[in-house]
A = this chain, B = another copy of it.
Amino acid sequence: MVGRQGILLAAASAFAERGYSATTLRNIADDAGIQAGSIYHHFSSKDELFATVLDHGMTVMDEAFDRADGSLCGQVRAHLGALFEHGPYTTAHVTAFFTTPADVRAASVPHRDSYEAKWQQLLAELLPHLDDEQVQLHRLLLLGAMNSTVEWFDPTGDVTLDQLAHLVTGQFLRGVTT
């Protein structure tokens, strides 16, 4: 893997695994097969590289959401698919965002907010008997549960992403007792 795309992929992978601060430009350069100084031909700073990774990740999330069928299970499957089937860009969003210095992550807050607004609208239509604040709480819990899967789910194991999506959807809509 070469050039800007190779750097971006190596950066996303490192940020996702170690977080923003623990990832060094030398780490990224090693994984990309170049020298650390060469990164600056493609990106002006570590911050810009990180912001580009997060922006790429949110674009993947957006496209998956917009392509899905609109059913809750379909949207859950799309979100999980974005996390596990489209490289480490989305994973970096989940694992590295919160502990990154506020001024660095600020650039990606609007993109995140617009994605969360899509979920808010979807759930509001699905749950007309609840007010906006209740919907928001349920949304945050659902996204929290889905995003936590990056810390423990193995997509190559014997549970498939489809099965996981059905499990998440069932627990959310009907609970575990059914």
Is A140 interfacial (CB-CB < 8 Å)? yes
Alpha-carbon gap, A58 to B98, bound state (A) = 21
Distance to closest chain B CB from A91 (angstroms) = 11
Alpha-carbon gap, A173 to B173, bound state (A) = 10
> Do A144 and B149 touch across chains, with their CB atoms under 8 A apart?
yes
> Do A148 and B141 touch across chains, with their CB atoms under 8 A apart?
yes
Q: How many copies does the complex hold?
A: 2
Chain B residues closer than 8 Å to A171, beta-carbon distance: 138, 141, 172, 175
Is A167 interfacial (CB-CB < 8 Å)? yes
> Do A176 and B176 touch across chains, with their CB atoms under 8 A apart?
no
| Size band of the interface chain A makes with B | 35 or more
Is A41 interfacial (CB-CB < 8 Å)? no
Instruction: Flag A123-157 by CB within 8 Å of B: 1 or 0 each.
Output: 00001001001100110111111111101100000
What are 9 of the A-B contact pairs (CB < 8 Å)?
Answer: A22-B101, A127-B177, A137-B167, A138-B176, A141-B167, A144-B144, A171-B175, A172-B176, A175-B175
A binding-site residues for B, Cβ under 8 Å = 17-22, 95-96, 98-101, 127, 130, 133-134, 137-138, 140-149, 151-152, 159, 164, 167-168, 170-178
